[in-house]
Structure 1
Amino acid sequence: MKILITDLVHPDLVSLLAERGHQVTSDPAISYKRLSEVIAPFEGLIVSTRLPIDKAIIDAAPNLRFIARVGSGMEHIDMLYAQEKGIRVVSSPEGNANAVAEHALGMLLALLRHIPRAVQEIRQQKWIREANRGIELKGRTIGIIGVGHTGTAFARKLSGMEMRVLGYDKYRNSTDLLYVTPASIQEISEQAEIISFHVPLTAETHYYLNRSFIDNMKNPFILINTSRGKVVSTVDLIDGLSSGKIRGAALDVLENEQFSLYTTKEKEVHEALMAFEDRVLITPHIAGWTKESKYLLSSVLLDKLSDLL
């Protein structure tokens, strides 16, 4: 089988495919235009989120049998059209679920215990204790929205922190939810002091956190978003931080992660967000980016495509 890989993957994935007799072409810098020109003979396509796999690309690939997404988010793939064409589409969210969970926990602790600020103060030879008095997780209530692979992994970490963990997932039966107390959005809005999103980006989850969501929260809360940037309205997040309804935010994703392409308005919004300094922690979409997950993401795909590969 001829397989095209359009992003950097674990070398074991390439070598294992080659050992099984497949012809593997790896081009992690390929452009959308070039992909549309060369994809015709390929039967397998392994991608990340760098390029959209839309109707035009799929139409240009008459021999395509599968599209494998290294990771979880599928918003850049026209899944319905691919399935109409008889193309199998798989992803590997299991591969980096633990990595995302650890990162979310680390960001939460860093925010509540003022770790980045304290480290910076020490670099400036400032020994400040009282202003850096933190908040413990024990006894706190967190609401996890989206209890799939990453949400469950995060809940499992929190279960050892003696927290009260509420979980909501519209598409899973409450009896299937592990490490959480099943709850409605209303119950979460009334009880949670921390909100963590673990949902895919869809029309339904776009701007899930908006002014209405913030207003419905009974308690001031900490926000964690390690899912997709557009799940959170940055403008409404800024308003929530300004009013004090949002005490702090730990973000691994942004609405637009290409700083070089920012419009004047986007630059202004980002500067306004950064003005909250240590109340906002942002990392560059690295929650699922570990040495271990790089291997696991690929091995999960191989398992899911074992009948083809």
Structure 2
Amino acid sequence: MPKVLIADKLSPSAVEVFRRNGIEADVAVGLTPEELKEKISAYDGLAVRSATKVTSSILTSASGLKVVGRAGIGVDNIDVPAATQRGIVVMNTPGGNAITTAEHAISMMLALARRIPQANESTKAGRWEKSKFTGVEVTNKILGVVGCGNIGAIVADRARGLKMRVVAYDPFLSHERARDIGVRKVDTLDELYKDADFITLHVPMTDQTKGMIDAGAMTQMKPGVRIINCARGGLIVEEDLKAAIQEGQVAGAAIDVFEEEPAKSNPLFELEETICTPHLGASTNEAQEKVAVQIAEQMSDFLLTGAVSNALNMPSLTAEESERLGPYMTLAEQLGSFAGQLTESGLRAVTLEYEGHVAELNTRPLTQTALASLLRPMLDTVNMVNAPVIARERDIDVAEIKYERPSDYHTLIRLTVQTENQKRSVAGTLFGGDKPRLVEIKGIPVEAEVGPHMLYITNEDKPGLIGNLGRTLGDAGVNIATFHLGRAARGSDAIALIEIDEPLSPPVLDQVRKLPHIKQVKPLRF
């Protein structure tokens, strides 16, 4: 009989689901890391929320652990790479607490507009300070939604019910989808900042979004703006927000998540204009019931049948398919990640073309892997299981084409992305049967192996580029590992894909962008 340890407080329904499926479930809440390390080797599954930290050290002690289930979305408390390395599946429950989090954001916005917590504290202290707590209406105000995925769309819907006008910024939101949910899409954050009376954040924590609301961003906002963050701590530079409130640029902020949690002290706690809650976005009875039942069902299916749902580090594959498709999965992931990091406008369509040997295989997992990697730079909860659902929600057409005709290569995968502004393609093959290579970018032949840190450059095909670029990187102490060039024709557009040993600092990246003949520079990470 499989055994599962529930290490955080979950609804009793989770235990009922496990036991109904014939799985032994023990509940041990509040274990220290050392206590968890001592117990974990006896279990096949570990179910947690956000309190228990599933570190590499704990996973090393988990000799029999097969699956870690997170009752919720975020897996910041789980060392996913370490779990992957040890062959442990990590699952979460995307969407289980979307309504609850959206409702909390709306509640925070209304409390901020009417200064309800401050008035409550004052009144209970015996002070009748009616004139001190004059608020503002939300009717006819503009709400700026940054990140209009599942939660952001629910917030927009609720705000429209309050007769607010909603603008949204999301590179993956199509204009058709925006019309369907009743929001006006803007193409830049600056445009949203300029118009919005209230701004609510609903984006994941990524390299692109970390610290996105800083002093510079707040100077672009409408004076007197009010900011709500129920998404992730670290999206806002907290000291900059404090200064903007003190200077009057920002009228107030309602914050549920913080850069360091638990937040025992924080610069925002000192201000009367802020409302702070202890990460309550998912804290309702209904949400906790949903995610507890969902994670118990997913873990039971995996432990009993091998079925994988909402896994962050494992494709839905049989053992036989996994061995055969492994190298192709790596190639598909690289193609999707490459295209995703270059995509800066709304996606309209994605096409996967399979030629040669790969066209004879089960390509659905490959398409889902490429799609997940394509969307992941802006959507950290996407995986190969939920990527097709997310694409459908965002009106992104996904197509597979298989060719029986012979290819120039023994096997070839081409990914074509259609955005609102342009069409871009990237293709790859396997050398030696298992070594992924990029062989075509935007129709230009190139042969490149992907490394951890890359530079993608588009340029005019004129002399001097290689020398100037090499000199600039050399002067900055940046070593070039590989250098791959391609061009459509002599004197026309050209591309360069360069592997470097370390990422470029912003000043060096700016120097590269200013070099003669360069049109675009994009740092990539794999």
- Rounded to whole Å, the distance in 1 between the matches of 2:81 and 2:176 is 29
Q: CA RMSD in A?
A: 2.5
Q: Which residue of 1 aligns with 2:95?
A: 94
1:124 CA displacement: 4.8
- Rounded to whole Å, the distance in 2 between the matches of 1:247 and 1:224 is 12
- Rounded to whole Å, the distance in 1 between the matches of 2:58 and 2:177 is 37
Partner SS, residue 301 of structure 2: coil
**Distance change >3 Å, CA 49–CA 125, structure 1 → 2:** closer
Deviates further, 163-172 or 39-48: 163-172
Partner SS, residue 159 of structure 1: helix
**Distance change >3 Å, CA 131–CA 300, structure 1 → 2:** same
- Rounded to whole Å, the distance in 2 between the matches of 1:233 and 1:144 is 18
Q: Which amino acid aligns with 1:24?
A: A
Q: Which residue of 2 aligns with 1:181?
A: 184
Does residue 254 of the first structure (1) align with residue 255 of the second (2)? Answer: no
TM-score, normalization: structure 1? Answer: 0.86
Aligned runs of 1:31-42 on 2, under 5 Å? 31-42=32-43
1:166 CA displacement: 1.9
Q: Which amino acid aligns with 2:197?
A: E
Asked if structure 2 preserves the Cα contact closer than 8 Å seen for 1:3 and 1:23, the reply is yes
Does residue 157 of the first structure (1) align with residue 158 of the second (2)? Answer: yes
1:234 CA displacement: 1.3
- Rounded to whole Å, the distance in 1 between the matches of 2:300 and 2:156 is 30
Asked if structure 2 preserves the Cα contact closer than 8 Å seen for 1:93 and 1:149, the reply is no
**Distance change >3 Å, CA 126–CA 52, structure 1 → 2:** closer
- Render the CA deviation track for 1:187-222: whole Å, top value 9, x for unaligned: 212211211112233333322221222123244310
**Distance change >3 Å, CA 57–CA 121, structure 1 → 2:** closer
Q: Which residue of 2 aligns with 1:226?
A: 230
Give the greater-gyration-radius structure (CA).
2
**Distance change >3 Å, CA 54–CA 119, structure 1 → 2:** closer
Gaps of 5+ in 1: 261-266
**Distance change >3 Å, CA 152–CA 88, structure 1 → 2:** farther
Aligned runs of 1:202-217 on 2, under 5 Å? 202-217=206-221
Q: Which amino acid aligns with 2:135?
A: G
Q: Which residue of 1 aligns with 2:507?
A: none
Indicate the percent of aligned positions where both proteins have the same amino acid: 30
1:170 CA displacement: 4.2
TM-score, normalization: structure 2? Answer: 0.52
Q: Which residue of 1 aligns with 2:271?
A: 276
**Distance change >3 Å, CA 56–CA 118, structure 1 → 2:** closer
- Rounded to whole Å, the distance in 2 between the matches of 1:306 and 1:180 is 40
**Distance change >3 Å, CA 24–CA 304, structure 1 → 2:** closer
- Rounded to whole Å, the distance in 1 between the matches of 2:184 and 2:296 is 34
Q: Which amino acid aligns with 1:63?
A: G
Partner SS, residue 135 of structure 1: coil
Partner SS, residue 249 of structure 1: strand
Q: Which has the higher contact order (CA 8 A, sep 6+)?
A: 1
Asked if structure 2 preserves the Cα contact closer than 8 Å seen for 1:192 and 1:219, the reply is no
Q: Which amino acid aligns with 1:89?
A: V
**Distance change >3 Å, CA 69–CA 179, structure 1 → 2:** farther
- Rounded to whole Å, the distance in 2 between the matches of 1:161 and 1:297 is 28
Q: Which residue of 1 aligns with 2:44?
A: 43
- Structure number with the higher strand fraction is 2
Asked if structure 2 preserves the Cα contact closer than 8 Å seen for 1:152 and 1:179, the reply is no
- Rounded to whole Å, the distance in 2 between the matches of 1:71 and 1:43 is 20
Q: Which residue of 1 aligns with 2:363?
A: none
- Rounded to whole Å, the distance in 2 between the matches of 1:142 and 1:153 is 13
Deviates further, 180-189 or 15-24: 180-189
Aligned runs of 1:65-84 on 2, under 5 Å? 65-84=66-85
Partner SS, residue 207 of structure 1: coil
Q: Which amino acid aligns with 1:199?
A: V
- Rounded to whole Å, the distance in 1 between the matches of 2:3 and 2:70 is 17
**Distance change >3 Å, CA 77–CA 134, structure 1 → 2:** same
- Rounded to whole Å, the distance in 1 between the matches of 2:185 and 2:85 is 35
Deviates further, 78-87 or 60-69: 78-87
Q: Which residue of 1 aligns with 2:344?
A: none
Partner SS, residue 204 of structure 1: coil
- Render the CA deviation track for 1:118-152: whole Å, top value 9, x for unaligned: 33443355544444332111111111122233222
State the number of aligned residues: 299
- Rounded to whole Å, the distance in 1 between the matches of 2:294 and 2:93 is 6
Q: Which amino acid aligns with 2:281?
A: A
- Rounded to whole Å, the distance in 2 between the matches of 1:84 and 1:140 is 49
- Rounded to whole Å, the distance in 2 between the matches of 1:175 and 1:5 is 43
- Rounded to whole Å, the distance in 2 between the matches of 1:98 and 1:166 is 20
Q: Which residue of 2 aligns with 1:289?
A: 283
Partner SS, residue 284 of structure 1: coil
- Rounded to whole Å, the distance in 1 between the matches of 2:297 and 2:137 is 40
Does residue 108 of the first structure (1) align with residue 109 of the second (2)? Answer: yes
Asked if structure 1 preserves the Cα contact closer than 8 Å seen for 2:269 and 2:276, the reply is no
Q: Which amino acid aligns with 2:183?
A: V
